[in-house]
Structure 1
């Protein structure tokens, strides 16, 4: 009886390209895993700090809930209906404050940046001195200007009395309270706009400026046709960022006027504080916060669209 043996099949060695492809796939998988591990703490922090409070606020806005009582009752959209008239009024006040508290620091900052960009003696010292308002905390600036505008012992009213002029209750009159807050805000925020514009001016193409000067262009013409187009992009972004920041500003208005007199300086931020910590109505405060978030989302969307357009032009 003949016994036959068969040889086991011999595997062909994998092609070098296949091995390299498998190695790349394995490395890509490990890179993705490592990337997820690096991003996990940041994502978790974002969920805890941003997403959870937002979801909790949405839930609270649907309930009648007080800060001093633990129980709560479902209210549906009643909180939104109750705060809607106040929201419309506070939104207008917030827009007025945000617009003027953005425009005036922008004008002052750009003008000073152009001045400091010139060859002046001691301009380095002057730049440092002009940065001081920005370095002070907002609460300190608020108390400083509240003292300046005080109707009894303020510097301005003292000067008016020395000149024989009638004193003005700047923070006690609706017509002047918002003006006083905007002046304080302008003094506090113009330096950072000045620094940004000055940094952009330092990068201006000197060749174009010299060529325009050789062609007989005046200083105003050089600024209009050479410097201004170079400044438009950064200034537009700074303006939008400053507007968004002012849209949520709280400390300066709260310290100087508390939203008064009446509701003349009652912005959305101060109104939300009043609902939550004066009236102790967490439901209405949350509803006001959700409406405020929607309005702010529109402003942020405009900022992203502007940023996208400016990036497309480069």
Structure 2
């Protein structure tokens, strides 16, 4: 296989051409330095600038510029939103260090962190609509934690079930039904999460419905981050409820849980932000994640093993 540099595309693009198939494969690589090393890492914008103009190039360029503008706006006008996202991620990391959790819960926490990061990145490009898929994932994980808290055996059942078994016993409808029954939700009523899940699901499916009177781009980003943090908060509440119900062992060497002042500020302002943008105040499940954390720590005080 011989390598030929494509003319006119700068130092970041090379074409590997197979002698057998003569099929070109584009490879993006850093330019070589004078000593044969790879030189400086190539940025996304540099690679984008080296691509051929066209519809995809235009879309990627606009998305990159939009993401930068929205990030700058968030840093300037509401930096506590970004700090709150970090606090949620650090709290999940702390939980995995501090408590002896089973593999199923640890796996779900990894997926939760990934969904939070996915949501933050998507919101910067798409605004509130970017939360459709990540929000649905976070709701699913939240309810699995609530379900596992009702019966600790379900965590292992969920992790070992085949696809058919998971669809039958651990679909969102099945899990939500068990959680609603345990909460004594009256027949004909439902937890607010059901409508929330439906809204996120509708957003990722093909539909003729379009949002009317959508807020401006800056407000979309703020609302997107508020939605991300609200689902993260509820997931943490379900996680700490699970820790208390399952009596997870707390490591004697565990450090203190991260402080979360930015999340507290975000939660305090979410209602006002929603109303200011013509949205109804969110109906929240009456559970406080701080109360669940306190219960978990009372069961296993920090700094010493449980007696």
Q: TM-score with structure 2 length normalisation?
A: 0.28
Q: TM-score with structure 1 length normalisation?
A: 0.28
Higher helix share: 1
Larger radius of gyration: 1
